Amino acid sequence: MTEEIIAAHGLLVYLFLIFLVGGLFTPLMAGKTTKSFKKVSFIYTMIFQALATMAAFTGMVALFVGKIEWNLSISVMVVVWILMMFIEIKKYMLIKYANLEQPEVLTLLRSAFVKISIIQLLFVGLTIVLMYLKAQGVISL
């Protein structure tokens, strides 16, 4: 049973990674209007939080149901999750309350959206690589 839960966790993490790659194109899909950028940003943030929370939940279920010992790699995953949620919420709040009527602000926030998405991709990608290396026995955490 633990293997199935961990497999579901892995699948959700890969779906989340694919979503983050697609998120790089979110500012392009928003169009030129400020209202559409806010809407697309809101939808992106809600899907981001849903996928991240599902991945975290399945990980926690695997931890407790599978009686997996808490170790450094689990701590790394928790810290990455907290950091990514914090960054995403701050990004959305910035977009929500910014004065997007000024073209410079809109351009700045679009580029910040992409840069933050790249940073989040790196977080998830490096965590996946870390867990892969741990599973292969290259490193021990």
H or E element, residue 58: helix 34-65
Dump pLDDT digits (tens) for 89-134: 999 999 989 888 888 888 899 999 999 999 999 999 999 999 999 9
Domain spans of the chain, in order of start: 2-136
Task: Inform me whether the pLDDT recorded for 54 exceeds 90.
Answer: yes
Dump pLDDT digits (tens) for 16-45: 999 999 999 888 887 777 888 889 999 999
Q: What local confidence, expressed as pLDDT, does residue 124 receive?
A: 94
Q: What local confidence, expressed as pLDDT, does residue 33 receive?
A: 77
Number of helices followed by number of strands (H, E) in the chain: 5, 0
Alpha-carbon distance of 112 to 93, in angstroms, equals 13
Closest CA to 16 of 37, 47, 41, 42: 47
